[in-house]
Structure 1
């Protein structure tokens, strides 16, 4: 996986896996390193690498979420995300490995031969620094 700073590029793409992923808030803990998968680069999945800081309410889904710190900084140094958007980097857990493999199986063949970074456009950040998957976005928010 190649961590890259996130720059939103709305390119409609279908992601049926993340919205249906069933991950509880307890799956992650403060201090763990995670990645939010965003697309493909050079035949590998890529995304934003972040550290979990503290529990937080994820307003767009009205569920428990996590406050994340992006070490690269920028306008969204801290964001709040729903647990189903996250994949462990700091430890190998079966759920995250299954999800990661499913994303690889779906995306890598689709973008085979693309050498440039492909941002699938699944996420946006609200004015309240809430990371939101397009399937979770509500009109007017």
Structure 2
């Protein structure tokens, strides 16, 4: 399903790709809880979905969407150990819930065939982190509303 590629990743190749599912995904704040392990899907590597694995820490207001979000901790640390994200960006890794599995399969259907001939780490360019440490999807930036 998701390879352990999020540990010690090479520099990804950016391949701007439309995200047909995340901007309209309807998942509530209550779907995730503090302590959950999640992944933020960002692209593909060697025929598998790829993303950043994080732990849900605490509720937090997600300023870019003006909705309830979650404070996430990246266990590998790095330049930005904590970010705030909207729940629709997250997929459970710590448990197999139906909503996340359906979303995951739909993302596989949308992306894997598109990049089947490429083995490098591909970042589809969907996310950026604001100066306030808010993970924001390109469809949720203030200019796109």
TM-score, L = length of structure 1? 0.93
Q: Of 65, 70, 76, which aligns to 2:69? A: 65
Instruction: State the partner residue of 1:20.
Output: 24
Deviations 1:10-62 (A, max 9, x none): 64320020000000000000000000000000100010000000000000000
Instruction: State the partner residue of 2:86.
Output: 82
TM-score, L = length of structure 2? 0.91
Q: How big is the alpha-carbon RMSD for the aligned residues of Structure 1 and Structure 2?
A: 1.6
SS of the residue 2:142 aligns to: coil
Instruction: State the partner residue of 2:55.
Output: 51
Instruction: State the partner residue of 1:4.
Output: 6
SS of the residue 1:75 aligns to: coil
Q: Is the 1:56–1:65 Cα contact (8 Å) retained in structure 2?
A: yes
Deviations 1:82-126 (A, max 9, x none): 000000000000000000000000000000010101100000000
| In structure 2, C-alpha distance between the alignment counterparts of 1:65 and 1:51, rounded to whole Å | 13
| In structure 1, C-alpha distance between the alignment counterparts of 2:18 and 2:37, rounded to whole Å | 26
SS of the residue 1:110 aligns to: coil
1:102 aligns with 2:106: yes
Equivalent pairs counted in the alignment come to 139
| In structure 2, C-alpha distance between the alignment counterparts of 1:119 and 1:8, rounded to whole Å | 6
SS of the residue 1:109 aligns to: coil
Q: Which runs of 5+ in 2 are unaligned?
A: none
Q: Which runs of 5+ in 1 are unaligned?
A: none
- CA shift at 1:74, angstroms? 1.1
Q: Is the 2:62–2:70 Cα contact (8 Å) retained in structure 1?
A: yes
